[in-house]
Amino acid sequence: MSSWCRKALAAPVLALAGSSAAWAQQTYFVPNVETSAEYNSNWEMAPASQRDAMASYKAGLSARIGRRTQLTSIELRPRITFQEFPDRSGVDPVEYFLDLRTTRTTQRSNLLIGGSFSRRDAFSAEYGTATFNDLNPELSKVDDTGIIFRGSTRTAFSFDPRYEYAITERSGLGAQLEMDHVRYDPENLRNRTGFDSYIGQLFYSHNLAQRTELTVGPFAGKFKTDNDTNDTDLYGIEAKVHHDWSTISYMEVSLNVEKDDSTLRDDTTGIVTQDKSTSWGLEFTGYRRNKVGGFRYTVGRSIDPSSFGDRRTIDQVRLQFDRPLSPLTSFLAAGRFTHEVPVGDDSGSDTRDRFFGELSLRHQLTPLWYISGGYRLGWQDVENQGSFQNHGVFLSVGFRGRDPERMR
């Protein structure tokens, strides 16, 4: 079995290991209800003269729904959030989310599918977060702009299937597709636009050692904005080295070179130009599970689509650490720093530096009821506009149904 699949199947393997035959086929439903109150000093990231603090109140309904067998696993996480901003009018009162992850492994083939969907008010969606998507951490892309206005809705969809077939005991062939789709309603927004992005890759994998795998292969894709200001054909090559420290701890290094051939249209003058550029990415990602707690990280440069109407090189340091302090109390710390530059922009006129941090504590009041609270910091520095920051505190009370894994 290849290294990427061992990582993908880590949770199902652990869920089955050491359990009785009754757990060999497991179907579960874990509901969650949570209410929260939050205060922010400058959510819109406005200049000092325009800062306006605000409070918000939210109630969320969510669930973990899944099934696991010795060969397959599937998990759905639907979530709906009801929200109220007493000091801000025009914000959508309801937001919807859905995350999916499914895997299937046979003697010679492996399949992994990750996906996410959200329909949110841009007032919330464009702010940003420090934490990873805990079901699909590889889909935790920088998809927020930091341009925060009321009066628009953002619908986002990501789909990432990957398949690999073993041709020998140590090598295999595979394919992967990355799809990203963003839409705004209404469409005509200042400095933001919806887009479609597709990248397909073919790769060859080879096990360098028992726990170390190399994959390498070409990719090609398409990026197109809804306002027709950017139509880009891209292609390149990517190499990855993946190492498993254990069944649930891993590290991966990826290097890619990308060539973009873009047709650009000025939205004001209508002038059309052609642009060719070459970019590179280098990322270190991984997860380390300790005896107590865990540590997840992404460090390096990636090339991703953005709602600014272009593809961007994003230099990123993203860390998340969780640790139980006692049988009933747990601690989480997360931080994300990004430096964003449009692909092909040598002037630095649209450089954005952003940071998000979170510190929180969670305490189980009973086996099913919990309380949590913490502090969040947001900061951004935009070229020719200055730097802005926001301080936020939150308090939540929730109910979570019995989790079969935790019961074991």
Q: What is the pLDDT of residue 292?
A: 85
Number of domains in the chain: 1
Q: Is the N-terminal amide bond of 186 cis, ω within 30° of 0?
A: yes
* pLDDT over 90 (residue 19): no
| Higher per-residue confidence, 290 vs 65 | 65
Phi, psi of 163 (to 5 degrees): -135, 140
Q: How far is CA 296 from the centre of its chain?
A: 13
Domain hosting 235: range is 3-407
Of the candidate ranges 3-17, 35-49, 221-235, the one whose mean pLDDT is the lowest: 3-17
One-letter amino acid for residue 52 of the chain: D
Distance separating alpha carbons of residues 66 and 63, to the nearest angstrom: 10
For 34-60, write each residue's pLDDT tens digit. 999 999 999 999 888 888 999 999 999
Residue 144 pairs in a beta bridge with: none
Distance separating alpha carbons of residues 263 and 265, to the nearest angstrom: 7
Confidence tier at 112 by pLDDT (50, 70, 90): very high
Residue 31 pairs in a beta bridge with: 63
For 322-376, write each residue's pLDDT tens digit. 999 999 999 999 999 999 999 977 666 689 999 999 999 999 999 999 999 999 9
Phi, psi of 170 (to 5 degrees): -120, -5
pTM of the predicted model, to two decimals? 0.88
Beta strands in 167-194 (DSSP E): 171-185
Task: Tell me the C-alpha to C-alpha distance, in Å, between residue 264 and each of 199, 269, 313.
Answer: 20, 12, 18
- Residue 270 sits in a domain whose CATH number is 2.40.160
The arithmetic mean of pLDDT across residues 71-94, rounded, is 95
For residue 288, which of 7, 4, 76 has the smallest C-alpha distance?
7
Q: What is the pLDDT of residue 5?
A: 46
Dihedral of the alpha carbons of 309, 148, 379, 196, in degrees to the nearest 10:
-30
To which H or E segment does residue 162 belong? strand 153-166
Contact partners, residue 316, CB within 8 Å, separation at least 6: 142, 298, 299, 300, 301, 302, 336, 337, 338, 339
